[in-house]
Amino acid sequence: MKKYSFYALGIIIRPKQTIDNLVKDSNHLKVGLFGVITLGILYSISCFVGYLQGIQPSNSLLRLPLESYYLYEASFMLPVTLASWILGGTIIYFSLPRQGIKYEDVLGVLGLPYGILVLPFMWLPEIIVTIAFPHLWGSDPTWLMVEPVRVALGSAWVYVGCSLAVKELYKLSWRRALLHTLGGLAVAGGFSSVFIR
């Protein structure tokens, strides 16, 4: 567990060095899986707390009752998180030449930034508001202004972190890494947006 904690903290404070170490680590798939499972579990907890606080989304693409949507989301958050990681990694893997790189290599280096970098900008503010200020959800003008900014910053950080992982694994230029990562994360994000509110 200490090794995984080291990687989780490292991807936040020293991403380049952490990705370089992760690329060389023979257990990088386990580390990547740790990042994604951490994200899925923490967001499942947030959804359940949101349900208990009476928070509901303003809309849903799924035919689920809005008043209990976050209870359902708590149950499917982990599988959706895992599926979106696999989907994004698959798109990236098949969009680049193999060069001796295996599918699990892509998933391994992608999972850590994909799972952990979401937490500071996106998950942490959400859980704080959900627990301490549930009345802000969906109606408070300040929260409605902050919400898109924090989501944009969090998404950008995840995108750059995942691009760094792809860049270092494949030894690509930043331009190519950003392009291929964008394709994978766009598909993963589109898939996730069907379920996550």
Whether 145 shows a pLDDT value over 90: the answer reads no
Q: pLDDT band at 156, cuts 50/70/90?
A: very high
Token pair listed for 192: 């996730």
Q: Where are the domains of the chain?
A: 18-195
What gap in Å lies between CA 189 and CA 84, rounded to an integer?
7
**Which H/E stretch holds residue 75?**
helix 69-95
59: left (phi over 0), alpha (psi -120 to 50) or beta: beta
Work out the angle at residue 4's Cα, subtended by the Cα atoms of residues 6 and 89, and round it to the nearest 5 degrees: 115
Q: What percentage of the chain reaches a pLDDT higher than 90?
A: 85
- The tens digit of pLDDT for each residue in 89-113 reads 999 999 999 889 999 999 999 999 9
Helix (H, G, I), strand (E, B) or coil at 178: helix
Work out the angle at residue 8's Cα, subtended by the Cα atoms of residues 119 and 45, and round it to the nearest 5 degrees: 40
- The tens digit of pLDDT for each residue in 111-133 reads 999 999 999 989 999 999 999 99
- The tens digit of pLDDT for each residue in 44-75 reads 999 999 999 999 988 889 999 999 999 999 99
